[in-house]
Chains A and B, each alone.
Chain A
């Protein structure tokens, strides 16, 4: 996507009656006596972008890691695409994860591999040999989508922080997952690139009808991508609604995010 052809982000109608693809029911998670999540519940519908707001250290990253099965909640149930993930064995979980994308807050690029190898890794892992011929095209396309087509042979260490974030995004999107979990996709980017990434998130949603869970502090980006906003506070879902609804909320805890 060249910056000139960016689609104007349009606020999609909130698909409240669409199929539910991800459910969190009464999730609790503690580390020792640090009770990070207490009774958190939320639903995600197909084709919907939900943004989770919350102060630093409030447990947003812990929440998404529970969703993808990297952390196991102490209590509560997580249902992804109709399957209760606590009942899945390793192989079933791997199959499910092929339909999920996860952007790490820390990017988590493989630093011993080039950018191309980073992108190829999830493809090779999920595919059988018969689709190898599409590989080069998909890598090229994914890199163009994030505006970094000429970095394919570089190592992550040779890229800037923002470029690494965009490569991590390309790696998340390359398998065209049905549900995408973005942990701070625009943090550390300049305002222009941040807006491009927000537009890309919208574009992916509209093109493939994906559902996305987006953690963000960047209110500019939240306004662009969110169909619904949820506020994580005191370990629970403190408030939720559209961007406008929460911006008009009287509770100072909610209101403070929007000023």
Chain B
């Protein structure tokens, strides 16, 4: 009885503390967002741009609805197209069974949501290319001082180069080198992906090299005592030991890649979010400006989600550091 009455207040005070923390951690950001939205609508009402007023939060919310309806309508049109084509094919084959029917693809306009998909595909392609180059290179840099000295000037030289400078070179090279009869990828897609790769290579490369070169000497001694071969050493000791830093690098790389992608798509005219923004800008109406604002929010949200996903991965590979 006595104990219960003692336990109750302490439980209550704990719950209170939790509630306070909850209100703070959730409440403050919410208030901040509310202030931002308020300031934004105020700005929208007061700032005049060439074609009227700056779209505010309400206009943006409506545009999200419009973009979604657009997407639905486009999908319906696509389905209708394929249904009609199927009917025509049937009729054609009934008339001349030996004849050859040529399937056609629906050549509709990509919607905003299609473009999100393309952007994600492009950024992941670039990111995978970058990782496949940067991780092995980083491991070699971390293992060999000589190799590191050889690679370092290039890292220092090319790391600060803007994607806008890479892109023309990449586009010209892609045009010159990639001319298959039945292209698997669009040239614009390849150019964007390669540009993303070129710019997002560096964080992974640098962090992998750092991770590998700072491996605990004790782990390497284990490899030496066991006389592990070079590949076994890298695979069983070096890579796992530097995974936390490799993933730190990958996370930074994906962030850089996503930022670079939008610029690359604008210039390369790859059908993604960057091109969407550019097209809307060319239209230059109040409605398209609102759509650009939607795009900005979506780009931010996707970037945030990518970062969280990578953070989760990074945590998953960071084994207890006290484990020695």
Is B one of A's binding partners? no
- Interface positions of A (Cβ within 8 A of B): none
